[in-house]
Amino acid sequence: MKEAADFLSQAARSGQRIVVICHRNADPDAVASAVVLAEVLSELGTQARPAAADDLAAISEAVLASFNRKIELNPELDFDLAVFVDTSSFGHLGEYGDKLRNSGIPFAVIDHHKPVEETKQLAKFYYVREEITSESELIYRLLVEMGVKPTPEQASLLLAGVISDTGHFRFANPETFTAVEGLLRAGADYNRVLELLKPPTDLSRRVAMLKAAGRSELQRINGRLVVFSDLGSFEGDAAGMLVRIGADVAFVGSEEKGEFRISGRASSEFLRETGVHLGEIMEELGKQFNGSGGGHAGAASVTGKGSLEEVKKQIVKMLQRRLNRAE
């Protein structure tokens, strides 16, 4: 932790223009981390601004609006250092990632996803703590190490990130609660954050969940319940919903113009008993299908070129292989 805190403190003191950037379709954990880290670096004396590639998830827009924060999309390449938060590869930054890679602007990675070799090789500074259950917790712990106390609003933002990424503490570990205690003591408003993170009950989401359930296809692989479904939006939410209603592991995807996008979710029991890591599966799929994939053991996604049907077959094969090995 100390080396990362030192790196950030030095970067802040160097007067470099810094962009703290997070992945496309940025979730509350990603935007909270980018906003708070950029603010802290600015307070320490440099010009730092938060950014995301392409777009934000609707819920992240709501969180930022509530705390009167803004985040830049695809910022101009006029900075001296990019700091990747909640982002393990250029692929997660989409086309903007290609531009950034080609620009040669130095970048640092401070992340909690499975390490990606290319990023590790090219980064000026690389710090990944996969066991930390949210980027927001990692940022909070870095602030503590740097001797910086977050403001009540910054603490609330980070708390939103922690709650969101741990699935309302389902994936939390003891350290998560230690960090949450620190955030609450710093003035985080738990009730306000919970209210903001309430799943949207809008009609489009309800229809999407019902469609995903209606189109779901159940396969038994080594006695495990594996569910596939297709949906053009809310894929991650739908996969999570399918796990909550009984799937061991669920994959929900969409296909458009020869490209596909799939989100996967798995129950913690399944992960514990089988050692399957969805992030690994998605990474492998990304490579096989000319795209990119990755994520956590229980929540991961992939994009690539090909048909949903082909990818599904491949997922079944990969699961069969892994489950045969596990049992």
| Minimum separation from the CB atom of position 30 to Mn ion (A) | 6
CA distance 59 to 201: 12
> Contact between 39 and Mn ion (CB under 5 A)?
no
Q: Is 52 left (phi over 0), alpha (psi -120 to 50) or beta?
A: beta
| Minimum separation from the CB atom of position 122 to Mn ion (A) | 21
| Minimum separation from the CB atom of position 165 to Mn ion (A) | 4
174 token code pair: 């003891």
Q: Tell me the three state secondary structure of residue 77.
A: coil
| Span from 29-37, 96-104, 146-154, 208-216 in contact with Mn ion (CB under 5 A) | 29-37
Binds Mn ion by CB under 5 A, chosen from 39, 86, 137, 283:
86
The residue among 67 and 171 lying less far from Mn ion, judged by its C-beta, is 171
Residues 22/30, Cβ–Cβ less than 8 Å: yes
> Contact between 111 and Mn ion (CB under 5 A)?
no
CA distance 49 to 158: 17
The residue among 158 and 311 lying less far from Mn ion, judged by its C-beta, is 158
| Span from 49-57, 70-78, 160-168, 253-261 in contact with Mn ion (CB under 5 A) | 160-168
**Identity of the amino acid at 35:** V
> Contact between 135 and Mn ion (CB under 5 A)?
yes
The residue among 17 and 177 lying less far from Mn ion, judged by its C-beta, is 177
Binds Mn ion by CB under 5 A, chosen from 5, 12, 29, 176:
29
The residue among 165 and 248 lying less far from Mn ion, judged by its C-beta, is 165
Q: Any bridge partners for residue 228, and if so which?
A: 217, 251
> Contact between 165 and Mn ion (CB under 5 A)?
yes
> Contact between 248 and Mn ion (CB under 5 A)?
no
| Minimum separation from the CB atom of position 169 to Mn ion (A) | 14
Binding mask 208-247 for Mn ion (x = CB under 5 A): ----------------------------------------
| Span from 59-67, 86-94, 209-217, 264-272 in contact with Mn ion (CB under 5 A) | 86-94
Helix axes 58-66, 190-197, angle to 10 degrees: 150
DSSP 193: H
Q: Is 16 left (phi over 0), alpha (psi -120 to 50) or beta?
A: beta
Q: Any bridge partners for residue 73, and if so which?
A: 52
The residue among 123 and 311 lying less far from Mn ion, judged by its C-beta, is 123
**Measured at CB, which residue is nearest to Mn ion?**
29
> With 0-12 CB in 10 A as exposed, 13-18 as middle and 19+ as buried, what is 214?
exposed
CA 199-200-205 angle, to 5 degrees, is 110
The residue among 130 and 310 lying less far from Mn ion, judged by its C-beta, is 130
The residue among 114 and 224 lying less far from Mn ion, judged by its C-beta, is 114
CA 244-207-211 angle, to 5 degrees, is 65
| Minimum separation from the CB atom of position 77 to Mn ion (A) | 25
Indicate the Cα dihedral angle 168, 171, 177, 181, nearest 10°: -30
Residues near Mn ion (CB under 5 A) are 29, 86, 135, 165
